[in-house]
């Protein structure tokens, strides 16, 4: 499903060049649930950005679902993000001025699809938050917001969900319920990649990759 | 993202910031209102002027005593002068000669009274001016020959003195004397107004002004290409009759109405252009206001742009979103401005300054122009901010607080 082949990311800051990723190769099978761990500055965010098609590698190849996406244009990447990927962020990243339902509908608008209300309602139902459909993000708890974000990530039936510290702003109980939800989705066949620095979150996943200084230092299977 | 969705979300965004949006629109509102109102006033003025000139006889030449300060001796125009102009041998290019005398008088009927302009005229005046009988009859040659004390009333004077009462055959007091109303005239409109009375020229000279002097002789050329020739004939005849030495200045003046009309129209055009420019400046200022706010808005919504990009918005989706938002803002301003202008125009139509009443005319063309200009202003001033927004890097934007 996901395959990085000798991927490097070098940031050119004029006089100095900063290496974000240094010749990383790794793959993730369809239906797998993995976690990426590492201290800040390790390159795990850079890795997440490349996996999420928000950025392109300086060199190397990224195969997503069999397609080489490492050389696509901005608009082509936008298309891939819309169709194949779902994002879950630490800070939820919901639009503050529209309600939960409208937030979930957004990806459908950009892919130009119909029956948006119905589909968004179903997605909210699927993550167990249908009763909050017409509430603004500000009127919801962190856990509820993250569920809305997951519904939004699911709306276009993505192959992969990328979660960047999905429980970073949540208390322990809520964190576990969100992880349970992601585990459920994984059981339904969606590949899940989670970036985290909490070991007990990583234990939910089948495999953990440790990143340091832009390199994969360790891989642990459970 | 479909255009309709984009428009909808633009509206949401405008409504989410009501105060800011209305202040931003204000420039466009004022600009569009000013342009539409001023152009409409110009248009109304033009119409009113054209009516006036048509009523006055736009193709006529008006001969009157010289008002030039360098002419020391001015012989007044007389009935004999007018008579001479009708000489077909000396003045073959002249077809109508209409002498007249004017004086301001007070007309009374019962307790009603009005101060109006009284004109002593001959029946040929109808070939110069657009007098249409409403009730009764017009003046005849016989009225003049017998110096009858009869008058014909202008539309407004009829209203002022008689209201709904029928004036025909009634007696009124004009400058103290008793006159019988024999006819009333239809509304002329335009700037000349309808407050006036007409009486036979001979009656006027005998009973009101005294003497045989004339104030004015209106002359019509046989055809429009003979006007210059007619002017030459008038000049020759009057110079001879007034014993004006070769080289000396005329002691009379000839006004060609068409020239006056042309010069007034060109003045009006300059005025309209000037007003349009004033409005255009305020549109430019309004446009800058929109650009400013859109730039602020892009910065404020950097994170939103990042989120939208992350979930699949392409560059052109973002570009379009901000462009449409700017255009919608501006168009709304334009619509409000237009409504204000329509209201203002309606209000102005009810105001009369003396005999001057101008009804602003809002044409479909100016409405269309105003609205498309406001959309164009929005698009133009939205372009730069929208490009800025579309160019934003999704990763940077998502990190933006």
pLDDT exceeds 60 at position B354: no
pLDDT of residue B357: 65
Superfamily of domain covering A2-221 = P-loop containing nucleotide triphosphate hydrolases (3.40.50.300)
Which residues in A have their CB inside 8 Å of a CB on B?
49, 52, 54-55, 74-75, 78-79, 81-83, 87, 89, 93-95, 97-98, 106-107, 109-112, 152, 156
Question: Closest residue of A to B316, CA-based?
Answer: A75
CA distance B374 to B289: 13
Give the closest-approach CA distance of A101 to chain B in angstroms: 14
Distance from CA of A177 to the nearest CA of B (A): 24
Report pLDDT for A161: 95
Give mean pLDDT, residues B122-137.
Answer: 90
Inter-chain CB proximity B5 and A109 less than 8 Å: yes
- A98 vs B contacts (CB less than 8 Å): 12
pLDDT at B269: 83
> Between B275 and A37, whose confidence is greater?
A37
Between chains, do B1 and A109 touch, taking CB under 8 Å as contact?
yes
Rounded distance, CA A208 to CA A218, Å? Answer: 8
* Percent above pLDDT 70 for chain A: 100
- Taking the C-alpha atoms of residue B355 and residue B357, their distance in angstroms, rounded to an integer, is 6
Bin B398: left if φ > 0, else alpha if -120 < ψ < 50, else beta: alpha
For residue B316, the distance in angstroms to the closest alpha carbon of chain A comes to: 9
**Which residues in chain B are contacts of A82 at CB distance < 8 A?**
311-312
**What's the confidence (pLDDT) of residue B182?**
94
The answer on pLDDT for B37 being more than 80 is yes
B386 HSE (CA, 13 A, CB side): 22
Q: Which of B16, B310, B313 sits opposite A87 (nearest CB)?
A: B310
Q: Select the residue of A54, A95, A152 nearest B394 (Cβ to Cβ).
A: A54
Q: What is the mean predicted confidence (pLDDT) over B10-38?
A: 88
B90–chain A Cβ distance below 8 A for any pair: no
Alpha-helical runs (H) found in chain A: 44-51, 74-84, 100-110, 116-126, 142-154, 172-187, 199-202
CA proximity to A68, closest of A159, A2, A8, A11: A2
H or E stretch including B284?
helix B257-300
CA B395 to chain A, closest CA, distance in angstroms equals: 7
Question: How far, in Å, are A92, A94, A96, B13, B18 from residue A138 at the CA level?
Answer: 11, 10, 7, 17, 20
Q: Which residues of chain B does A156 touch, with a Cβ-Cβ cutoff of 8 Å?
A: 312
**Residue in B with minimal Cα distance to A108:** B1
Is a pLDDT exceeding 80 seen at residue A132? yes
Average model confidence (pLDDT) for chain A? 92
How many whole angstroms separate alpha carbon B9 and alpha carbon B271? 42
Instruction: Identify the pLDDT of residue B280.
Output: 81
Q: How high is the pLDDT of residue B43?
A: 82
Burial class (CB in 10 A: 0-12, 13-18, 19+), B4: exposed
Instruction: Name which of B5, B16, B308 is nearest A97 (Cβ-Cβ).
Output: B16
Q: Which residue has the tokens 């020759």?
A: B236
A54, A78, A83 ranked by CB distance to B313: nearest = A78
pLDDT category of residue B352 using cuts at 50, 70 and 90: low
* Section B366-383 average pLDDT: 90
pLDDT of residue B120: 94
Q: What is the mean pLDDT of chain B?
A: 88
| Helices B364-391 and B18-56, packing angle to 10 deg | 150
Tokens 């950025």 correspond to what residue?
A: A55
From CA B306, how far away is CA B389, in angstroms rounded? 10
Mutation target among A76, A86, A99, A106 for the B interface, most CBs of B within 10 A: A106
Whose tokens are 């239809």? That residue is B186
Is A79 in Cβ contact with B310 (below 8 Å)? Answer: no
A interface test, pick of B14, B306, B310, B324 with most A CB neighbours within 10 Å: B310
* Mutation site for B-interface testing, chosen from A55, A109, A153 by largest number of B Cβ within 10 Å: A109
Choose, out of B13, B311, B320, B399, the residue to mutate when testing the contact with A (most A CBs < 10 Å): B311
> Out of B12, B306, B395, whose CB is closest to A55?
B395
* pLDDT at residue B52 in the model: 77
Which chain A residues have a beta carbon less than 8 Å from that of B315? 74-75, 78
Give the rounded percent of residues in chain B with a pLDDT score beyond 90: 46
Q: Please identify which residue in the block is written with the tokens 């290409």.
A: B225
Interface contact B317-A89, CB threshold 8 A: no
Closest residue in B to A95 (Cα) is B304
Structure tokens at A155: 């709306």
d(CA B33, CA B343): 10
How far is Cα A50 from Cα A61, in angstroms, rounded to an integer? 11
Question: Rounded distance, CA B211 to CA B203, Å?
Answer: 11
Q: What is the pLDDT of residues A173-222, one digit of tens each?
A: 999 999 999 999 999 999 999 999 889 999 999 999 999 999 999 999 98
Mean pLDDT of B202-227: 88
Interchain CB distance below 8 Å, B310 and A83: no
C-alpha distances in angstroms, B39 versus A177, B260, B279, B292? 68, 22, 10, 29
Q: Can you give the residue ranges of every domain in chain B?
A: 3-53+261-399, 98-215
Nearest to B82 by CA among B202, B199, B196: B202
Minimal CA separation from B292 to chain A, in Å? 22
Q: Residue B353: which pLDDT band, with cuts at 50, 70 and 90? A: low
Question: Using one digit for the tens of pLDDT, what is the confidence trace for B27-36?
Answer: 899 889 988 8
> What are the structure tokens assigned to A125, written together?
């139902």
**pLDDT in the model for residue B335:** 94
- Residue B12 scores a pLDDT above 90: no
ipTM value > 0.90: yes
Which chain A positions have a beta carbon within 8 Å of B303's beta carbon? 93
Q: With a cut of 80, say whether residue B190 has pLDDT above it.
A: no
CA–CA separation, A35 and A199 (whole Å): 10
For residue B309, the chain A residue with the least C-alpha distance is A78
| A112 burial level (CB within 10 Å; 0-12, 13-18, 19+) | exposed
User: How many residues appear in chain A?
Assistant: 222
Measure the CA–CA gap between A153 and B59, rounded to whole angstroms: 80
Q: How many residues does chain B have?
A: 401
The whole-number average pLDDT for the span B34-47 is 84
First to last CA, chain B: 26
Q: Which residues of A are less than 8 Å from B396 in CB distance?
A: none
Q: Is B300 on the interface with A (CB under 8 A)?
A: no
Q: Are the CB atoms for B22 and B162 separated by under 8 Å? A: no
Whether A150 and A181 have beta carbons less than 8 Å apart is answered as: yes
Rounded Cα distance, A157 and A149, in Å: 14
Task: Identify the pLDDT of residue B58.
Answer: 64
**B13 min Cα distance to partner chain A (Å):** 9
Residue A212 distance to chain B (closest CA, Å) = 21
Tell me what the mean pLDDT of segment B56-69 comes to: 80
């Amino acid at each position: 499903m996901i395959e990085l082949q000798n991927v490097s990311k070098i940031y050119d800051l004029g006089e100095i060049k900063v290496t974000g990723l240094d010749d990383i190769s790794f793959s993730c099978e369809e239906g797998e649930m993995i976690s990426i761990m590492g201290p800040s500055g390790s390159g795990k965010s850079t890795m997440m950005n490349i996996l999420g098609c928000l950025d392109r590698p300086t060199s190397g190849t990224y195969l997503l679902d069999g397609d080489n996406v490492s050389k696509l244009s901005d608009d082509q990447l936008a298309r891939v993000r819309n169709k194949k990927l779902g994002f879950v962020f630490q800070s939820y990243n919901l639009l503050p001025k529209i309600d939960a339902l409208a937030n979930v509908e957004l990806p459908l608008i950009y892919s130009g699809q119909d029956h948006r209300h119905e589909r968004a309602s179903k997605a909210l139902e699927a993550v167990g938050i249908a009763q909050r459909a017409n509430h603004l993000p500000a009127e919801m708890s962190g856990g509820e917001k993250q569920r809305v974000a997951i519904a939004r990530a699911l709306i276009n039936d993505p192959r992969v969900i990328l979660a960047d510290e999905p429980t970073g702003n949540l208390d322990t109980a809520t964190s576990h319920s969100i992880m349970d939800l992601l585990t459920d989705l994984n059981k339904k066949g969606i590949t899940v990649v989670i970036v985290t620095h909490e070991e007990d979150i990583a234990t939910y996943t089948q495999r953990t990759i440790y990143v340091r200084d832009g390199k994969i230092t360790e891989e642990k299977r459970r | 993202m479909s255009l309709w969705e984009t428009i909808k979300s633009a509206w949401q965004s405008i409504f989410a910031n009501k105060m800011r949006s209305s202040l931003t629109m204000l420039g466009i509102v004022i600009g569009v209102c000013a342009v539409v109102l001023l152009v409409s006033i110009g248009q109304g003025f033009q119409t009113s002027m054209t009516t006036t000139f048509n009523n006055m006889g736009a193709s006529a030449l008006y001969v009157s005593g010289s008002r030039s300060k360098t002419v020391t001796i001015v012989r007044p125009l007389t009935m004999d002068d007018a008579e001479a102009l009708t000489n077909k041998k000396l003045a073959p290019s002249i077809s109508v000669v209409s002498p007249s005398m004017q004086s301001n008088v007070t007309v009374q009927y019962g307790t009603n009274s009005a101060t109006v302009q009284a004109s002593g005229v001959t029946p040929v005046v109808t070939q110069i001016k657009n007098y249409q009988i409403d009730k009764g009859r017009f003046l005849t040659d016989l009225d003049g020959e017998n110096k009858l004390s009869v008058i014909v009333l202008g539309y407004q004077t009829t209203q002022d003195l008689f209201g709904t009462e029928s004036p025909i055959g009634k007696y009124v007091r004009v400058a103290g004397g008793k006159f019988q109303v024999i006819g009333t005239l239809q509304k002329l409109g335009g700037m000349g107004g309808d407050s006036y009375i007409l009486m036979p020229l001979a009656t006027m000279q005998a009973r009101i002004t005294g003497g045989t002097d004339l104030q004015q002789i209106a002359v019509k050329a046989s055809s429009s290409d003979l006007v210059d020739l007619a002017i030459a004939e008038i000049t020759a005849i009057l110079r001879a009759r007034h014993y004006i030495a070769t080289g000396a200045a005329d002691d009379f003046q000839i006004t060609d109405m068409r020239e006056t009309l042309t010069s007034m129209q060109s003045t009006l055009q300059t005025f309209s252009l000037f007003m349009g420019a004033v409005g255009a400046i305020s549109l430019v200022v309004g446009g800058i206001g929109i650009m400013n706010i859109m730039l602020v808005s892009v910065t404020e919504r950097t994170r939103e742009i990042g989120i939208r990009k992350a979930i699949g918005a392409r560059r052109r989706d973002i570009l379009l979103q901000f462009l449409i938002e700017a255009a919608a803002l501006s168009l709304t301003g334009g619509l409000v401005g237009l409504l204000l202008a329509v209201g203002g125009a309606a209000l102005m139509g009810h105001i009369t300054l003396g005999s001057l009443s101008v009804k602003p005319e809002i044409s479909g063309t100016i409405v269309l122009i105003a609205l498309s200009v406001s959309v164009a202003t929005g698009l133009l001033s939205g372009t730069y901010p929208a490009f800025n927004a579309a160019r934003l890097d999704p990763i940077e934007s998502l990190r933006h607080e």
